[in-house]
Amino acid sequence: MSNDVDMRALGEKIELHSAFIDDIYSELDKVIVGQRYMIDRLLIGLLADGHVLLEGVPGLAKTLTVSSLAKVINTKFQRIQFTPDLLPADLIGTLIYNQKESQFTVKKGPIFANIVLADEINRSPAKVQSALLEAMQEKQVTISETTFPLEAPFLVLATQNPVEQEGTYNLPEAQVDRFMLKLKVGYPTESEELEIMRRMAKTGQKPELKPVTDAETILKARDVINEIYTDEKVERYIVDLIFATRYPDRFDMADLKELISFGASPRASINMNLAARAHAFMEHRAYVTPEDVRVIAQDVLRHRIIPTFEAEAEDISPEDIVQKILSSVQVP
């Protein structure tokens, strides 16, 4: 019986600590039309301490959504436009010689913020990518010989253009794997487009967003998310989904073996568990269901499955492969 009481107490705790989620949605509604999927996943990244990669053509309000989110959670925001001539020092900072005092002083770069928007990340060369990688992975930056920790919460939200576009580089697999989620942002519906046009086709005053929460509340919410109950059956379901990307023949999907070069890494199962718990928290729930896992599975897996040439030749995307796995692996 004590387990029931614990779940009830946990449920009340979650209800209390997740109240700010609805405030964020209603505040963002003032500025952003539709795009609920993108906002949901950005919040999951924020709550589960995972970076997010957004892919879509220019003009889909990706930058507006990220900067608006930073405003409503009252955190420091920096936007870095990635270009082919960007240098690591432009990102992390550099040493500057002060003639008056005859010594070097550190000038910190834009990476020193809570939410960093790396805009068009795949337009910059490998050196810049690796500087960003250290910040994402280690939550710290090294300038000369000094290491500086980054302030929590620290979240990289990167946008990339579809690779077919001119002047883009493919991101290295190791870096892509550092992103908890990869979102495919699509065009708005007709009714949303109409609303966007009506709202935005006015010069001058745009609605002012006000902060509805703060960094401290987000960090407390992360602690509560760690307490969310995940049944062993759900944990095994997550592991089955990941293993199905590596050994599809074990799950009666031998035809997938020819389509997958590399399956998902162990980082995928960690991220899937975290993201599913964050999703349960956003639904004000004290436990994870298989549905929480299924909702975020595409976003956790699409960038971690490397299709073979055969799959590409047959126009089979990683999303198609994930969909096949979701419909074949038994749900508890």
CATH of 227-328, one of 1.10.8.80, 1.10.10.10, 3.10.20.600, 3.90.1580.10: 1.10.8.80
Q: What is the pLDDT of residues 186-229, one digit of tens each?
A: 787 888 888 878 777 776 667 788 888 888 889 999 999 999 99
Q: Pick the more confident residue, 235 or 252.
A: 235
Q: What angle, rounded to 10 degrees, do the helices at 36-48 and 266-282 form?
A: 110
Task: Specify the pLDDT at position 1.
Answer: 36
Q: What is the pLDDT of residues 99-108, one digit of tens each?
A: 887 888 888 8
Q: Pick the more confident residue, 130 or 84.
A: 84
Q: Which of 320, 310, 38, 300 lies closest to 176, judged by CA? A: 300
- Enter the pTM of the model: 0.87
Domain at 18-199+213-220: CATH architecture: 3-Layer(aba) Sandwich (3.40)
Give the residue range(s) of CATH 3.40.50.300 domains in the chain: 18-199+213-220
C-alpha to C-alpha distance for 269 and 240, rounded to whole angstroms: 9
Average pLDDT of the chain is: 86
Q: CB–CB of 168/161 below 8 Å? A: yes
Give the residue range(s) of CATH 1.10.8.80 domains in the chain: 227-328
By the 10 Å C-beta count (0-12 exposed, 13-18 middle, 19+ buried), 204 is classed as: exposed
In this predicted structure, the answer to whether residue 298 has a pLDDT above a threshold of 90 is: yes
By the 10 Å C-beta count (0-12 exposed, 13-18 middle, 19+ buried), 50 is classed as: buried
Q: CB–CB of 259/307 below 8 Å? A: yes
Q: Which two tokens stand for residue 255?
A: 């035809």
Cα–Cα separations (whole angstroms), residue 6 to 9, 223, 273, 284, 288: 5, 16, 21, 16, 15
Q: If pLDDT is split at 50, 70 and 90, which confidence band does 5 have?
A: very low
Task: Specify the pLDDT at position 166.
Answer: 62
Q: What is the mean pLDDT of residues 223-246?
A: 92
CA angle 151, 155, 161 (to 5 degrees): 145
Task: Give the 3-state DSSP-derived string for 160-192, with helices as H, strands as E and coil as C.
Answer: ECCCCCCCCCCCCHHHHCCEEEEEECCCCCHHH
pLDDT > 90: percent of the chain:
28
Least confident of 47-61, 154-168, 283-297: 154-168
Task: Specify the pLDDT at position 12.
Answer: 85
Position 126, amino acid:
A
In this predicted structure, the answer to whether residue 235 has a pLDDT above a threshold of 90 is: yes
Q: What is the pLDDT of residues 107-156, one digit of tens each?
A: 888 999 999 998 888 888 778 887 888 888 888 888 888 888 998 889 99
